[in-house]
Structure 1
Amino acid sequence: MLPIPFLLLLLSSILSPSSAADFCVADLSLPTSPAGFSCKKESTVTISDFVFSGLGVAGNTNNKFKAAVTPAFSPQLPGLNGLGISAARLDIAIGGVVPLHLHPAASEVLVVIQGSIIAGFISSSNSVYYKTLHKGDAIVFPQGLLHFQVQSGGLPAVAFGSFSSPNPGLQIVSLALFANSLPSPLVEKVTFLDDAEVKKLKKVFGGTD
């Protein structure tokens, strides 16, 4: 005889109508929320909502970081909405870097497919974990922790990342500090940098005094 709690659970699952849908394709015409995008009407969904061809194209690394990220998140691939996954391509030119940043809504697995990358993260106890990765190597960045990637060796690096959210979010520390209108005296206080260095970095990243 089956245990009573199991029978109750079984009956509940049989008698209760299912609210699960096969998918919830993002309606990009409506605002997003912390829960994601609203669902498109199923009658308007097409195969294009589930296909993205951009990951086969190298990103433009002609910038101060010499790096580019090509995302395949809900805005690019609406079929990801509600599925808890997404992907991205990372291109880093020689001498390039993806500076300290975090994804508030997702953990990440990064797999190197070309070149070498020094990659690592900093735990909430300020322990540092990093290693030089080569073709075929993978690294995990836990959700919400600061992490980085630096090109290494004589070849441009290419890697693919997968995320545990259709919209991982992104905050780059250097931009958060120096690419905004936070007054320089306050930046100096919270970073312990001197006035000249703060103003130099604000100029580099486009912030204002």
Structure 2
Amino acid sequence: MNSSKEMMNSILILLLCALFSSTSHASSITRQNFCKADLNRPDTPSGYQCLPSDTVTAADFKYSFNGKPGIPLPSNTLIFLATVHQFPMLNGLGISAALGEFEEGGFIPVHDDDANKIVMVIEGQFDVGLLTPLKSYCNTLIPGDIMVFPKGQPHYLMNSGRGKAVAVAAYSSPNPVFRFLYEELFANDVPSRILSQVSFLDKHQVRKFKARFNGTG
């Protein structure tokens, strides 16, 4: 009888410990659903390691494109990124953002992203298109319009109105990768004669584009 009672007490203690452990973990997640990236540590498939939560301030949850350096594209367009590298509080959340400023006639060349993307027009007018082997899906966007760009689908955006145009984008990745067709084709060291043959492009044009985009060969 005593041994049975001791066994029951042991089981009860184990159950209480398990419940306490589970409750503590759940409440910890509830109390803190953020993880500021420690960018000095290696990135991992699940994101960067967290900086101590007591070092996080209210300002860490805010990010502004104002005063930040943009990335110029060779098409009269300036891109401002808000990935985990610029905005460490995005760590582990699976999202990021960008802002594009397009001069009149400016555009983003054909490219694809390794994340799903939504673009919203803030100012001006855009002609945009999704490309597939059999069909293109083209739209004209004005302020307030939103368009979705599925992951890996080649597409372009062009300022088709008068004056400057502005759009913002949201990505389903904290650090999306952008693959531009012109870089894939011409910013490499494949000999021009070979690239001309395998791309169905004129050799003179291949050399011209290689020179423009710092390719060799």
* Residue in structure 1 matched with residue 43 of structure 2 by the alignment: 32
Please report how far the alpha carbon of residue 169 of structure 1 lies from its aligned counterpart in structure 2 after TM superposition.
1.3
Q: Distance in 1 between matches of 2:68 and 2:144?
A: 18
Q: Distance in 2 between matches of 1:38 and 1:83?
A: 13
String of CA shifts for 1:32-85, please: whole Å, max 9, x gaps.
23433222222332334322111x469768652100110111011100111111
- Give yes or no for contact 2:70–2:80 (8 Å, CA) kept in 1: no
* Residue in structure 1 matched with residue 181 of structure 2 by the alignment: 173
Unaligned runs of 5+ in 2: 1-17
Q: Distance in 2 between matches of 1:26 and 1:46?
A: 13
- Give yes or no for contact 1:178–1:202 (8 Å, CA) kept in 2: yes
Q: Distance in 2 between matches of 1:150 and 1:13?
A: 57
Q: Distance in 2 between matches of 1:34 and 1:191?
A: 35
Larger radius of gyration: 2
**Are positions 1:201 and 2:209 aligned together?**
yes
* Equivalent residue letter for 2:102: I
Q: Distance in 2 between matches of 1:58 and 1:15?
A: 44
Give every structure 1 segment of 4 or more consecutive aligned residues whose post-TM-superposition deviation is greater than 6 Å: 12-15
- Give yes or no for contact 1:25–1:45 (8 Å, CA) kept in 2: yes
- CA pair 15-47 structure 1, distance change in 2 beyond 3 A: closer
**Are positions 1:189 and 2:197 aligned together?**
yes
Secondary structure, aligned partner of 2:118: strand
Moved more, 61-70 or 75-84: 61-70
**1:14-53 → structure 2 map (5 Å cutoff):** 16=22, 17-18=25-26, 20=29, 21-53=32-64
Choose which of 111, 119, 142 in structure 2 pairs with 1:110: 119
* Residue in structure 2 matched with residue 120 of structure 1 by the alignment: 129
- CA pair 14-150 structure 1, distance change in 2 beyond 3 A: farther
Moved more, 17-26 or 196-205: 17-26
**Are positions 1:145 and 2:153 aligned together?**
yes
Choose which of 86, 89, 95 in structure 2 pairs with 1:85: 95
* Residue in structure 2 matched with residue 68 of structure 1 by the alignment: 78
- CA pair 13-94 structure 1, distance change in 2 beyond 3 A: farther
Q: Which has the higher helix share?
A: 2
Normalised TM-score (structure 2): 0.80
Please report how far the alpha carbon of residue 194 of structure 1 lies from its aligned counterpart in structure 2 after TM superposition.
2.4
Please report how far the alpha carbon of residue 185 of structure 1 lies from its aligned counterpart in structure 2 after TM superposition.
3.3
Q: How many residues align?
A: 195
Identical pairs, percent:
38
- CA pair 61-52 structure 1, distance change in 2 beyond 3 A: closer
CA RMSD of aligned residues (A): 2.5
Please report how far the alpha carbon of residue 113 of structure 1 lies from its aligned counterpart in structure 2 after TM superposition.
0.9
